[in-house]
Structure 1
Amino acid sequence: MNTAERAVVLELRGVSRVHGEGAAEVHALREIDLTLVEGELVAVMGPSGSGKSTLLTLLGGLDRPTSGEVLIEGQSLADLSTKQLAAMRRRSVGYVFQDLNLIPTLTAVENVGLPLELDGASRRTARRTALKSLEDVELAELADRFPDEMSGGQQQRVAIARALVGPRRVLLADEPTGALDSQTGEAVLRVLRKRIDRGGAGLLVTHDARHAAWADRIVFLRDGQITDTTASELSAEALLAAGRHV
């Protein structure tokens, strides 16, 4: 199935985000149009201050655009109340950050199941669903270990399992392998890619061209604007060269 035949999961339509007013005004994003379909992973590259983190916060409903529209599975976030937006984030959107934000006093399975419990699931149901998510990242045998009893790569896989637990199909990842060695980072990206291939959609912010190569396409940001988009069939060296010229 080609991209045109897949359902749209994430969409930005003419999105801009402006911080401050007057002389202090900063355009974090300028008229961004971006669409992600099911089964698609898009990498975002660009220098510091280019708007990458702002893009993630808008897609995840953590902030609202100054103008334009953000849609998740056809639902415009502008039409949602604060309470509805929080529910949308719990049910549809998963985040993976370099700072994993795992709760140290909870086991792996408890960390993964927590979003489900917050959304009203019973502890038994949350555990069963969380175990399935841990199986998907090949960590079911560590379900009852605490974060400090796991390696960095294992903790990152727990974070991915939590991000995609239950019916969630949207994954937003901000430098998810930044604190890992190259081999562990590749293993984490392999897990992420596998989950996206099962019908989700994901946006991966990274500065590493080798990691961007796991995506279906790469978007380059500079000064809040998309300056180039390229297919990820390019080598890491070619991606780095493209990034230097945007």
Structure 2
Amino acid sequence: MSHTDQSRQAPVLHLEDVTRVHGQGAAEVQALRGVDLKVHPGEFVAVMGPSGSGKSTLLTLAGGLDTPTTGQVLVEGVALGTLTRKKLAQVRRRSVGYVFQDYNLIPALTAAENISLPRELDGLSARAARREALAALEELGIPELADRFPDDMSGGQQQRVAIARALIGDRRLVLADEPTGALDSTTGEAVLAVLRARCDAGAAAMMVTHEARHAAWADRVVFLRDGRMVDESVSQDAASLLVSAAANSKQGDE
């Protein structure tokens, strides 16, 4: 599907003039400033920018883990700020898959149990949830980890289990914060291929990355600086992205 075709559809995610301020008075920090961003079905968006530019804040707001100071966040047309805590938790379980930088696996649960937990909380039987979890592990190329506990896994294995958990069920929106950070280059490319395939099947994804070669998997690259969207480009190939990213980085250093 072309970028033009995607943009004609209702967005899965819409951040509408979103600002996020942390702290007060002298300690006040504007993490995001008037960000307006739509991510459509089938679209894979990469978010790049210097450290402290607001990339992770953007993801936490998109996933309903934090609330904007002004503006609103809509997932599949529903304004997250209008939901009760219970309804918001349901949206996060059913519609949003989130890959955290620090994995957030529960140590007392096996890989399969960690992955199936959101589905069981949503009322799926333990047997059906496990079946979905095993399929997700297979998709990530790690079926042998099903009954292993997080402490018995490497960082890269934990990262792939966390990604499997984000992809289980019919998640319409996948949010990933440096999802390839703990992975070697071959495994990282394989994970990006899985995310790309999910988008090609109709999901929307937004990924924070500092690697232009990883951003090359995306349909569109959004650049943040000092909490503002300063540029966005439709991804053509890795080479043009590297040039664009380098130019943005250089401007940021000046």
Q: State if a TM-score over 0.5 links the two structures.
A: yes
- Using the aligned pairs only, state the percent identity: 66
What displacement does 1:189 show? 1.3
What displacement does 1:242 show? 3.3
| Mapped pair 1:212 → 2:215 | yes
One-letter amino acid of the counterpart of residue 195, structure 2: L
Aligned to 2:60: 57
Report the Cα distance in structure 2 between the residues aligned to 1:5 and 1:28, rounded to whole angstroms: 30
| Mapped pair 1:177 → 2:180 | yes
Aligned to 1:241: 246
Aligned to 2:20: 17
What displacement does 1:141 show? 4.9
SS of the residue aligned with 1:220? Answer: strand
Aligned to 2:142: 139
Report the Cα distance in structure 1 between the residues aligned to 2:202 and 2:193, rounded to whole angstroms: 15
Contact 1:44/1:218 (<8 A) preserved:
yes
Aligned to 2:8: 5
| Superposed counterparts of 1:144-223, under 5 Å | 144-148=147-151, 150=153, 152-223=155-226
SS of the residue aligned with 1:8? Answer: coil
Q: Deviations over 1:118-167 (max 9, x none)?
A: 22322112112222323333434543344455554443332222102112
| Mapped pair 1:41 → 2:44 | yes
Question: Greater shift after overlay, 94-103 or 169-178?
Answer: 94-103
Report the Cα distance in structure 2 between the residues aligned to 1:10 and 1:223, rounded to whole angstroms: 22
TM-score by length of 2: 0.89
What displacement does 1:30 show? 0.7
Question: Greater shift after overlay, 52-61 or 81-90?
Answer: 81-90
SS of the residue aligned with 2:134? Answer: helix
Report the Cα distance in structure 2 between the residues aligned to 1:95 and 1:12, rounded to whole angstroms: 17
One-letter amino acid of the counterpart of residue 243, structure 1: N
The alpha-carbon distance between structure 1 residues 192 and 22, as it changes in their structure 2 partners (threshold 3 A), is same
What displacement does 1:112 show? 1.0
SS of the residue aligned with 2:230? Answer: strand
Report the Cα distance in structure 2 between the residues aligned to 1:7 and 1:129, rounded to whole angstroms: 28
Q: Deviations over 1:92-111 (max 9, x none)?
A: 11111232222343332212
One-letter amino acid of the counterpart of residue 118, structure 1: L
Report the Cα distance in structure 2 between the residues aligned to 1:185 and 1:120, rounded to whole angstroms: 32
Structure 1 residues not aligned, in runs of 5+: none
The alpha-carbon distance between structure 1 residues 122 and 47, as it changes in their structure 2 partners (threshold 3 A), is same
Report the Cα distance in structure 2 between the residues aligned to 1:123 and 1:106, rounded to whole angstroms: 14
The alpha-carbon distance between structure 1 residues 184 and 136, as it changes in their structure 2 partners (threshold 3 A), is closer
Report the Cα distance in structure 2 between the residues aligned to 1:61 and 1:204, rounded to whole angstroms: 16
Contact 1:164/1:170 (<8 A) preserved:
no
